[in-house]
Amino acid sequence: MLEYKAIEIFTSEEVRWQGKPLSEAIIQFVSGLKIAARCMVTRGTDGCYESGEIATRKLEVLSYNMPVRIHVILPAGELERVLPDIDKMVTDGIVVVHHLDVVSHKIRTRLIPQQVKVRDVMTANPRTVTPSTPLDEVVRLLLSSIFTGLPVVDQANRPVGVISQGNLIYRAGMPLRLCLLAESDQNRLEEFLSSISSKTAAEIMTSPAVCIEEDRQLTEAVNLMLQKGLKRLPVVDAGGKLVGILSRMDLFRTIMKESPDWQTFRNLNIQIENLHSVSDIMRRDIHTVTPDTAIDEVIRIIDSNDIQRVAVVDEKGRYLGLISDEDLLMAFSDQRAGLWDYVVSKMSFTEAGRKHKEFLDHMRAKTASEVMSTRHITVREDAPIEEAIRIMTENNLKRLPVLDSQGFYKGMVSRESLLRTGFTQCKI
């Protein structure tokens, strides 16, 4: 749910603000804010006031000073900034504030309404570390979280850097991705954590941190993430202090809640500028295996192409399933020590093989069909982009296999391709 607030004002036609009817003045004020707010004015046909005065239109000639109700609906984060000014304008009337759980906020021509601000969709009060935090504490924190990156802040809570999973892998020598590390042999995990305990966050973080202010438009944040190739942005207040974090998933969830009414557009045969189907943004993947492919070959393909997963297809190219590095770890759960060494050795078939001949023999005896996941979450290549976004958001997927109408595997769509192609080609 999106958290919104409703400001409700009960006043009358006679009330003025700086010479204008109050309703007109408030509409002009809200319009000038350029935020994701809507305003509506209704006039009553009957009513009464505190003085006992009764307003009625039963006799049209005598009707005057009719009751007026003004509704302003806006994101909850804007209330503190907007309410004092509106309260000041209401010199005669009652001001009420309601909390609203908004299911969706849609406009008809943009992927994201221009008025949506970063603070409306960011994750507030994120976990942080300091430059002096030992790396083993950083990893422990990430292993217990659903996110894979952390802002690094100084004593005044100002971001000074960011630590990502990539930093840990390439600068700290973390041998496995975090989700795999969490499933690894506990002794090996503790051994790795001990090996990095003398290092600090400052030694591996990306610095300076690229940040965005909370009151900037969300579209500006998207452009910044695309330009810099970032997966997340620390969000700061006017004083430069950290107040939130904005991730790709925050963006995709926003698109699902605030995107145009796609079905209505299709029914009316309305074309949206430069909106493409999945086939326009997917990576046409040439890396596939068959059910009979040996697991050591699967691992070699995944590692040498840095793709983390590979599709399994039949001899004609029809999609059968997917193998990820997580599937591999689960398949060899009874021999994790061997797999750990195998992966740590950068997929070498030499040293690791000599040390762990039993494991390698066991691995080579397995085939792709024994390891692959047949949980078929896929998307058609002719599906609209928002369909891919919906599937990936609902299932928390980083990549999604793309099939044609006959079930043949065509490629993979990723969060990166969605963000880059979807946003740069579509009107935002």
Averaged pLDDT, 248-267: 58
Three-state SS string across the chain, please?
Answer: CEEEEEEEEEEECCCEECCEEHHHHHHHHHHHHCCCCEEEEEECCEEECCCCCEEECCCHHHCCCCEEEEEEEEEHHHHHHHHHHHHHHCCCCEEEEEEEEECCCCCCCCCCCCCCEHHHHCEECCCCECCCCEHHHHHHHHHCCCCCEEEEECCCCCEEEEEEHHHHHHCCCCCCCHHHHCCCCHHHHHHHHHHHCCCEHHHHCECCCCCEECCCEHHHHHHHHHHHCCCEEEEECCCCCEEEEEEHHHHHHHHHHHCCCHHHHHHCCCCCCCCCEHHHCCECCCCEECCCCEHHHHHHHHHHCCCCEEEEECCCCEEEEEEEHHHHHHHCHHHHHHHHHHHHCCCCCCHHHHHCHHHHHHHHHCEHHHHCECCCCCEECCCEHHHHHHHHHHHCCCEEEEECCCCEEEEEEEHHHHHHHHHHHCCC
> Distance between CA atoms of 415 and 389, rounded to whole angstroms?
8
Radius of gyration over alpha carbons of the chain, in Å?
Answer: 28
Residue 330 to residue 336: CA distance in whole angstroms: 9
For residue 337, pLDDT over 90 is answered with no
CA angle 211, 208, 308 (to 5 degrees): 80
CA distance 338 to 329: 10
pLDDT higher for 184 or 62?
A: 184
Output the average pLDDT for the chain. 79
End-to-end C-alpha distance for the chain, whole angstroms:
22
Under the banding of pLDDT at 50, 70 and 90, the label for residue 188 is confident
Residue 96: predicted pLDDT: 95
pLDDT tens column, 27-37: 999 887 767 78
| pLDDT score of 264 | 44
pLDDT digits (tens, 9 = 90+) for 79-121: 888 999 999 999 999 999 999 887 776 665 555 666 678 888 8
Q: Each residue of 127-148: pLDDT tens digit?
A: 999 999 999 999 999 988 878 8
Instruction: Supply the pTM of this predicted model.
Output: 0.55
- Confidence band of 366 (pLDDT split at 50, 70, 90): confident
Residue keyed to tokens 């958001």:
393
Phi then psi dihedrals of residue 208, to 5 deg:
-75, 160
Average the pLDDT over each of 165-174, 222-231, 331-340 and give the range with the smallest value: 331-340
The pLDDT tens digits of the residues spanning 192-209 come to 899 999 999 999 999 999
